[in-house]
Amino acid sequence: MSNDKHSRLNKFEKRRKNTKAISIFLLVGAFLLIVLLGIWFFGGGNDETEDNTTSNGGKESSDFLITEQEDEEETDENASDNDSEHNDSNRENSESEENEEENQEDENREIEPAEPSDDNVAQAYTGNWEPIGTEQEGPHTTDFNTGSQDRIEIKRAASVATGINEDDMIEWWVENGGDQRVIATVSHRDEPDVYRVFLSWVDNEGWQPTKVEILIENDKIR
């Protein structure tokens, strides 16, 4: 009877030790599992998420910058094209208006043949030119000096009579043509025709062209 009781105690003690060992292993396994899960969730998972976020964020940011830069370049190109078209349109309108004004002036200018003053004249004509206006006041005495107000206004009147732009005009000679009269020999810097322009002074109104002669040769070249 005593041996049976002792045997049962040994079996119970052995079973208890085995159960305790199993419990310890289970606890250790559970702890390790929790540690691994924690590392995976809070360590590796964040790194991966962070890497993906950084990678995707960098890509999105780069794509945004590239798109924005392309949009700005397209905007600049469109603005440049619009400015160019606008400038071209303005230039064409300006040229059209100038041509219309010139044509209107030509239509309003009545040209008639005139008597040549000498044998060096290929063609002579008169027109219904008006005095060009003046900044001079009081009694008038012609000042033939270069740069004088008379010379400035004589050149302007010659431009009106010949159609030569003042900036393109060469004044070969300006001489006394009588009482309050002058004769200006001029030409275009890029054209061969030489003009002799007769002008008369009108008080308070300025120089008025009265006749234009186109010369056969320039007789004022010295």
Q: Are residues 155 and 104 in the same domain?
A: no
Q: Are residues 69 and 159 in the same domain?
A: no
Q: Are residues 79 and 116 in the same domain?
A: no
**Range(s) of the domain holding residue 192:** 112-215
Give this prediction's pTM: 0.54
Q: Are residues 179 and 128 in the same domain?
A: yes
Q: Are residues 171 and 197 in the same domain?
A: yes
The closest alpha carbon to 144, from 201, 81, 80, 216, belongs to 201
Q: Domain boundary at 60, 91, 108, which?
A: 108
Please report whether residue 221 resides in a domain: no
Residue 198 CB coordination number (10 Å):
22
* Side chain identity at residue 175, one-letter code: E
Q: Are residues 141 and 51 in the same domain?
A: no
Q: Domain boundary at 91, 108, 125, which?
A: 108
CA distance 35 to 32: 5
Tokens 């964040």 found at: 46
CA distance 158 to 132: 10
The count of C-alpha atoms lying within 13 angstroms of the C-alpha of 70, restricted to the half-sphere facing its C-beta, is 6
Q: Domain boundary at 92, 108, 124, which?
A: 108
* Residues 6+ away with beta carbon under 8 Å from 62: none
Q: Are residues 93 and 186 in the same domain?
A: no
The structural domain count of the chain equals 2
The closest alpha carbon to 172, from 210, 208, 215, 218, belongs to 218
Please report whether residue 126 resides in a domain: yes
Helix (H), strand (E) at residue 172:
strand 169-178
pLDDT in tens, the chain (222 residues): 555 555 655 665 666 666 777 778 788 888 888 888 888 877 654 444 444 444 444 444 445 445 555 666 666 666 556 665 656 666 666 665 565 655 455 445 578 999 999 999 999 999 999 999 999 998 999 999 999 999 999 999 999 999 999 999 999 999 999 999 999 999 999 999 999 999 999 999 999 999 999 999 999 987
